[in-house]
Amino acid sequence: MPELAWVNGEITNLYDAKVSFMDHGYLFGYGVYEALKVYNGKPFCVEEHMDRFERSMKEIRIKPDLSRKETIEIIYDLVEKSELQDAFIYLQITRGVGPRNNPSLPGAKPTLSMFVAYLAPLPDSVRQDGVKAILVKDDRWAHPHIKTLNLLPNILAKQIAEENNAYEAILANEEGIVTEGASSNVYAVFKDTIVTRPTDGKILSGITRLVLCRIIEQNGFKYKEDYFTTAELKEADEVFVTNSGAEVLAVTDIDGDKIGNGKCGPITQKLYDLFMQEVSRTTGR
């Protein structure tokens, strides 16, 4: 099935798509993005992703040409044309094209682009065995709550994780307080209580996190938003991460230390099952 791109109204093969060298997203990282999971040919949590996309645009003073309704229609049209069932949609908007010596670009037309690409479901064995993570100092920029294109620290953290045969890098600040993963939100289970860091402007609040928090509340789990250290994380009964691609995924090894019994724990498994029920309810998967 084709992987397609949409750039300012033109649909092409993904790897044939082009933007200007003078685009300020390319020159300055002046832009924001979103990534949505597609199940059974249907995008998941479109409205929630658009809420965050619009908030991020407002934060960096980008005014889109298209309305939310028009953007969503393009998303659905692109997925339909691709005929992909398991995929993800990536949206990006930048300040636009113009001289490098004028970063503010007053009156410039923003560059909106998006693509749809195949995304294979994770194997069942990974769900059961969980994944390895490592701890990395969180030295990212000062506004992590905006889904900016400036992802170099995240990418470097991911590279360090890969060099250590780990799936994810879990970030912590100077005081050893866990913030989030390089591409995920992080949770610890202490006895029967699920704990995750508050959305205090120091983390990106994931859409999967938003959905999971609703599920936790609706199903009566013990839950609180609170801070925890890397040492406390390693002593947790269960650890898991969430994002659009991995959904709810157990972490069973951190820096070589086994978490719990080294397998996906019962609370993590139950939350994954409930999350996928919500996916099925909303997408028909």
For the chain, the straight-line distance linking the first and the last C-alpha, in angstroms and rounded, comes to 19
Domain boundary among 118, 138, 167: 118
Both tokens assigned to 118: 């195949």
Helix H or strand E encompassing 34: strand 31-39
How many domains is the chain partitioned into structurally? 2
**Whether residue 150 sits in one domain with residue 267:** yes
- Give the domain range for residue 243: 124-283
From the list 132, 147, 158, 202, the catalytic residue is 147
Cβ count near 185 (within 10 Å): 24
**Whether residue 44 sits in one domain with residue 176:** no
In angstroms, the Cα distances linking 255 to 120, 154, 247 are 27, 18, 22
Residue ranges of the chain whose pLDDT lies below 50: none
**Whether residue 154 sits in one domain with residue 104:** no
**Whether residue 161 sits in one domain with residue 30:** no
Alpha helices in 64-188 (DSSP H): 68-82, 124-129, 152-163
**Which positions ≥6 away from 252 have C-beta within 8 Å?**
129, 130, 131, 132, 239, 258, 259, 260, 262, 263, 264
What was the pLDDT predicted at 143? 79
Tell me whether residue 147 is one of the annotated catalytic residues.
yes
**Whether residue 204 sits in one domain with residue 93:** no
Domain boundary among 94, 118, 142: 118
**Whether residue 100 sits in one domain with residue 9:** yes
Domain boundary among 118, 149, 164: 118
What was the pLDDT predicted at 1? 61
Q: Could you tell me which residues are beta bridge partners of residue 116?
A: 4, 89
Mean of pLDDT over the chain: 94
**Whether residue 143 sits in one domain with residue 112:** no
The dihedral over CA atoms of 28, 32, 38, 41, expressed in degrees to the nearest 10, equals -90
**Whether residue 138 sits in one domain with residue 17:** no
**Whether residue 147 sits in one domain with residue 92:** no
CATH code (residue 168): 3.20.10.10
What was the pLDDT predicted at 57? 94
CATH code (residue 81): 3.30.470.10
Q: Is 202 left (phi over 0), alpha (psi -120 to 50) or beta?
A: alpha
**Whether residue 215 sits in one domain with residue 76:** no
**Whether residue 83 sits in one domain with residue 209:** no
Which backbone phi and psi does 146 adopt, to 5 degrees?
-95, 130
**Whether residue 246 sits in one domain with residue 167:** yes
Alpha-carbon gap, residue 247 to 162, rounded angstroms: 20
- Of 208, 214, 12, 8, the residue nearest 94 (C-alpha): 8
pLDDT in tens, 130-182: 999 999 999 887 778 888 888 878 888 998 999 999 999 999 999 999 999 99
The answer to whether 87 and 78 have CB atoms below 8 angstroms apart is no
pLDDT in tens, 172-207: 999 999 999 999 999 999 999 999 999 998 999 999
pTM of the predicted model as reported, rounded to 2 decimal places: 0.87
